[in-house]
Chain A
Amino acid sequence: MKRLIIRKKSRKNFITYGVVVAAFIVLASVVSAGAMPSALQGLLVPMCAYIIAAISLNLTVGVLGELSLGHAGFMSVGAFCGATAAMALNGAGVPDWARMAAAVAVGALLAAVAGVVVGVPVLRLRGDYLAIVTLAFGEIIKTVVTNLYVGKDPAGLRVGFLNPDIGLGKGGMMIVNGPNGISGITKISTLTAGFVIILLCLIIIFNLVDSRSGRAIMALRDNRIAAESVGINATQYKLMAFVISAAMAGAAGALYALSQNTVTANKFDFNTSILILVFVVLGGLGNMLGSIVAATVLYILPETWLRQFSDYRMLIYAVVLILMMLITNNAKIRIWMGKLLPHKKEKEGEAHV
């Protein structure tokens, strides 16, 4: 059942903020008390990165209504640019937190540039072209980064393509080493940083959705022809949503890269894009809290208690995804669920709004 009356969105937004803040306080206190196993502790920052990627993709899929199958590509851009920036600043006397912030900013900025490059030609088209082009974009980025060599010497950054010999001078250091990716990253991203970025992204998305531009974006999702007939520039607003989404994915990528020792291009492949899409679909299109919960559960479970099944991860996700679609679209099952969980009855509709 879709609800007849749409409640003020602000209440739901505050619940989302509240859940995120509460979760952070609990996690931070458990970590500082030393009660968290170190294996799990290492998963917290990547989890934040996946949450950011999921809510950013939800902006494209749920709010803008366009399918992006290459979101990991934007993460990749953010990860490699961000990590390069962080390593280039290494030893320049910049404090860790500032290096982190710079890396995230550089990652977000360059992912936004990539978003413009992909979006400008494609968002003018109608239909599923964005999905096809983003899918190709993800693969192109992977191939480009696999063949990219970046080094640093006292003269500055040196970049090479296909050829590992980039003529590093004395005291030079390889940063991006082709197929081996970036290794020897100092892990400078923290849970606090991840939490702050999640909160920032949520504020940006919620404030955007509840504003003139956000309404224009949702109008385009619901009915493009009607939106243009009331004077909304389709390309401009689609591009705006897509670029913001790409920038957030870039920030997520930078955050992720700085929580790992080694990052390779293969990490951000098609499977990762689909994984993020699964988070979004399972959490509910347009439902940010849903994306956060889905990303948390689906990232932590396979990495910890369900480790032995992790080889079958994509298989299980596919089955879960199909089951979800069948269940949420089956009237009989929904009535049955409504009887089983009377208090859920009204909430059913929220995922659709």
Chain B
Amino acid sequence: MDLLSNLALGFSVAASLENLLFCLIGVILGTLIGVLPGIGATATIAMLLPITFQLEPVSSLIMLAGIYYGAQYGGSTTAILINMPGESSSAVTALDGYQMARRGKAGTALAVAALGSFFAGTVATLLVALFAPPLTAVALQFGAAEYFSLMVLGLVCAVALAHGSFLKALAMVVLGLLLGLAGTDIYTGAPRFTLGLPQLADGFNFVALAVGVFGISEILRNLEHGQGDREVLGQNLGGLFPSRADLRRMVAPMIRGTALGSALGILPGGGAVLAAFGSYTIEKRLSKTPEEFGKGAIEGVAGPESANNAGAQTSFIPLLTLGIPANPVMALMVGAMIIQGIVPGPNVATEQPDLFWGIIASMWIGNLMLIVLNLPLIGIWVRLLKVPYHVLFPIIIAFSSIGVYSVKGNVFDLYAVAAFGLLGYVFLKLRCEPAPLLLGFVLGPLLEENLRRAMILGRGDPTVFLTRPISAGLLVLTLAVIAVMLLPQVRRKREEVFVEED
């Protein structure tokens, strides 16, 4: 059985003392970040990215992955206790979780969220292990034309799932692609968009862009309003463990949520968020007591929590098999891999099986650590919720500055952080989502390279994208996504879904 031996290899890598330690640091940091207000997982990973470069590639990716799903967990804690989702994907959890907390069932809500996430994490990890190898085999058949078409599909999906206006998200992707092209042209050596600055010969620094656009701009947005004190529920958590009746009510939503989340997580552009909303809608539809939803229905916590965690996990599939990031966090992982000297893509599984399977195994270990850590330590996290915002800003700024500077010891990158921070803030004010920009930035150079290569291989004939079946299929799918997006009913529905979240 290949799967078993592969998993065994993975666990032997992930269970080494060193990697366990980094996994633990990752999930603790992630939970901390998820609980603390004002900064999301993307910004944190961007900040901590440079620090992990000192580590072995496997350890560094394990730690980054730990931060990612740790933040998902922490985000649900704040959603339940203070009605403030730390991550956009736990926005749905706030709907019923917070109501449960107000009714004195905060402990149960937290436990349900944790159990749901753990169940989903376990299933999704298995799915990643099952589906990654066959997809890798398919991906190895991919030529330049297929890669190009796949990336176009990925970017269009990212736009489709972004919040707010379709046109604005599309414009952000294009802008990201353009920014990604800056630097020296790989074929001719011609400098592009370098503004005559030698520091831009290698293009814009990825970490500086991510920290500026996600971290700094988010701080600025938080500073707009005088920050009111937050009401923290759960001084009295109530019984932590769900009663037998509660357990029975949460099983089916958990399974449905996991299935939905696993499927949508593979989609580029934040499938986890959509999965959580989808699961909530399904549970409400199926429930015999839909009127309970919004007033503390346990199904409304179990379903979406499982869905978003499953989605977070399966979004590793496109990254590990194709080297295509599904969301901004995965884009950062691509950045991390490239800086570590690993070319993300189908070759990772065959050339570095220990890395590939080690990461997969560590996901399950990480999820286990989270449940073991979080339920007993919930009191500490609750206390952390009371940390005032304004204390965090200097800490974040200091760590971001150190992080960005340590990438290359380049002072110029710090000025770029300030510039991208301003740019990100302007776009936030103009209601343009930064996530598509980051995806565009990462994919820009790859997209161009594959386009040029495909055109050379096709002797300048653009039909090369249509005559190769996989490529044509992907492009048809892209058109279908665009067509669906433009349907008036879908447009209205989509706006509703994303408005609900605010």
* A and B co-occur in one complex: no
Interface residues of B (CB under 8 A from A): none
